[in-house]
Amino acid sequence: MELVSLQTTHPDRRTFLQKIASLVLHVVLLAALTYEFRAVPQVRRHVVARVMTPYAPGHTAVVQPPKPRIIQPKEEPKLAMKQPEPPPPSGGDPSGEDDVSLAMANFYPAPKPDLSALPHGTRGDIVVDIVIDEEGKVVETEVDQGLGHGVDEAVLAVLQTWTFWPATKDGKPVASKQQLLFHFERA
């Protein structure tokens, strides 16, 4: 007679638990790889909540920024309106019909001072106030802004040779005052 052994094939309890643990570990690892954590600011200060958002390759999650809360003022602000200043009074006929013309230069050679006394790279303006008499001649000069080093004096000497058609008021020649500006640069 032949002996037949009847062995029941019961799964080993230890291998079964290992398979379950491996399955759970793989599910957790897969979940961790497919979800990314993002910080979402909360209303309270210094509190940050973590929110899981699904990961889809090539796409980014859309996070809506919080809408700002607009607080309406309780009363309308009052704007102060500045009234325009009236024009300065004209010093003549109140109807503004004074016939006034400015003095116009008719002989005005350009001043060409020697700039060699100035340091290299110097640039600046000479501003001169002049008084023109009723005959159109320069009778007074005053330097408001100058460069010095003899340049101002050279400009004033040339201005003494200038002549003008005099300014007129109501068709009559009158004395006038003008301001002239000359710009010089030394390379």
Look at residue 78 and tell me whether its pLDDT is greater than 90. no
Give the CA angle between residues 28, 34, 38 to the nearest 5°.
105
pLDDT for 68 equals: 74
Look at residue 183 and tell me whether its pLDDT is greater than 80. yes
pLDDT for 153 equals: 92
The residue extents of the domains of the chain are 13-54, 100-185
- Which one is the CATH code of 100-185: 3.40.1710.10, 3.30.2420.10, 1.10.3720.10, 1.10.1760.20? 3.30.2420.10
pLDDT for 167 equals: 92
CA proximity to 102, closest of 173, 182, 162: 173
pLDDT for 4 equals: 57
Look at residue 65 and tell me whether its pLDDT is greater than 70. no
Report how far residue 158's alpha carbon sits from residue 125's, in angstroms, rounded to the nearest whole number. 16
Q: What is the pLDDT of residues 106-152, one digit of tens each?
A: 998 988 888 888 888 888 899 999 999 999 999 999 999 988 888 89
Q: What is the pLDDT of residues 11-55, one digit of tens each?
A: 566 788 889 999 999 988 888 777 665 655 555 555 455 555 555
DSSP per residue, 131-171: EE-TTSBEEEEEEEE---TTHHHHHHHHHTT-EEEPEEETT
DSSP per residue, 1-70: ---------PPPHHHHHHHHHHHHHHHHHHHHHHEEEEEEE-SSTT-EEEEEEE--TT-----PPPPPPP
Report how far residue 180's alpha carbon sits from residue 130's, in angstroms, rounded to the nearest whole number. 8
Report how far residue 108's alpha carbon sits from residue 56's, in angstroms, rounded to the nearest whole number. 82
Q: Between the ranges 44-53, 64-73, 148-157, where is the mean pLDDT highest?
A: 148-157
Confidence class for position 2, pLDDT limits 50, 70, 90: low
Residue position matching structure tokens 């000497």: 157
Report how far residue 126's alpha carbon sits from residue 156's, in angstroms, rounded to the nearest whole number. 10
Report how far residue 149's alpha carbon sits from residue 142's, in angstroms, rounded to the nearest whole number. 17
Look at residue 170 and tell me whether its pLDDT is greater than 80. yes
Compute the mean pLDDT over every residue in the chain, rounded to the nearest whole number: 77
